[in-house]
Chain A
């Protein structure tokens, strides 16, 4: 029920059923088998959709974090260039609890890289690194959104296929019933 065609991230494209009876001939003319197969394809797409949605959410929470860090790094750089005075800052000591600190402008900052690792960077390098990370995350978000759109298309195609196979079956049964009534009378 999928074709060889794929999107840039390798998700297969769903096959559009043009002719229901031709489609069912691939399933021993059994509506039941055909529908079951469509259902399988649909649940695969839905599974991928759920995964992709999660990826999108994780990017959506990651991007503002990087933006905040970048904003602060840029301020530190700006400030260092303009004045030697210490910066007065209120920082979050604990949830909802703030303390005041005086920070001497410096040449370097520490970036938390994850996995319990923190590294010292010259401010300009930190900014470059963060800018790069931000760009990568934004690109990933765009890709996730594109994939979601693509998946949604495939889901719609598969749903329409299902509805049509189903309707076709109802029509067939009705015809058969009518014919047998005619024969009986």
Chain B
């Protein structure tokens, strides 16, 4: 941190409207980093499930599959396992799409807020993560 030089000191009044913009930016910033974590966890999970469905293609049809339900592994038929897996994959894809949409909207709004706030306060404000 450093003190601003006297001549670059911004003598701009902070209005309630600006404060609300600052709040919104900080709020979005927080949300986005939360969502990023969720997104990478879900993407990882999706990859695992994809590998799994590949493995199941090769599995013996007469041999039951030990599928994890809750904390235990239950022997179920290959067919059941595949349909459960498919449902889980669909759910994940849906979640990932929803997160992606939210994040795109948020970063658009943040770019707009940055434009407004930097426009008014210049280097007196710092809006990075």
Residue A89 lies at the interface, judged by CB distance under 8 Å to chain B: yes
CA distance A156 to B19 in the complex (A): 8
The proximity string for A residues 58-76 relative to B, scoring 1 for CB distances below 8 Å and 0 otherwise, is: 0000000000110110010
Q: Is there contact, CB below 8 Å, between A92 and B72?
A: yes
Beyond A72-B69, A156-B22, is A89–B27 a contact (Cβ under 8 Å)? no
Q: Is there contact, CB below 8 Å, between A71 and B16?
A: no
Q: B interface, by DSSP: helix, strand, loop or mixed?
A: mixed
A92 CB contacts on chain B under 8 angstroms: 71-72
Residue B70 lies at the interface, judged by CB distance under 8 Å to chain A: yes
Q: A interface, by DSSP: helix, strand, loop or mixed?
A: helix
Beyond A18-B16, A90-B66, A157-B19, is A72–B72 a contact (Cβ under 8 Å)? yes
Q: Is there contact, CB below 8 Å, between B74 and A87?
A: yes
Q: Is there contact, CB below 8 Å, between B14 and A89?
A: no
Q: Is there contact, CB below 8 Å, between B69 and A75?
A: yes
User: For chains A and B in complex, what number of residue pairs have CB atoms within 8 angstroms?
Assistant: 56
B27 CB contacts on chain A under 8 angstroms: 149, 152-153
A118 CB contacts on chain B under 8 angstroms: none
The proximity string for B residues 1-43 relative to A, scoring 1 for CB distances below 8 Å and 0 otherwise, is: 0000010000000111001001100110011000000000000
Beyond A68-B70, A164-B14, is A87–B22 a contact (Cβ under 8 Å)? no
Q: Is there contact, CB below 8 Å, between B70 and A89?
A: no
Q: Is there contact, CB below 8 Å, between B23 and A156?
A: yes
Q: Is there contact, CB below 8 Å, between A90 and B73?
A: yes
Identify which of B14, B30, B64 contacts A152 (C-beta below 8 A): B30
B1 to chain A, nearest CB (A): 12
B71 to chain A, nearest CB (A): 6
B16 to chain A, nearest CB (A): 5
Beyond A153-B27, A156-B23, is A98–B73 a contact (Cβ under 8 Å)? yes
Provide a sorted-by-A list of 28 A–B residue pairs whose CB atoms are within 8 angstroms: A16-B16, A69-B70, A71-B70, A72-B70, A75-B69, A75-B74, A87-B74, A87-B75, A88-B75, A89-B73, A89-B74, A89-B75, A90-B66, A90-B74, A91-B72, A92-B71, A149-B27, A149-B31, A152-B23, A152-B27, A152-B30, A156-B19, A156-B22, A156-B23, A156-B26, A160-B14, A160-B22, A174-B6
- 9 tightest CB-CB pairs across the interface, nearest first? A72-B70, A68-B70, A88-B75, A90-B73, A91-B72, A153-B23, A89-B74, A89-B72, A75-B69
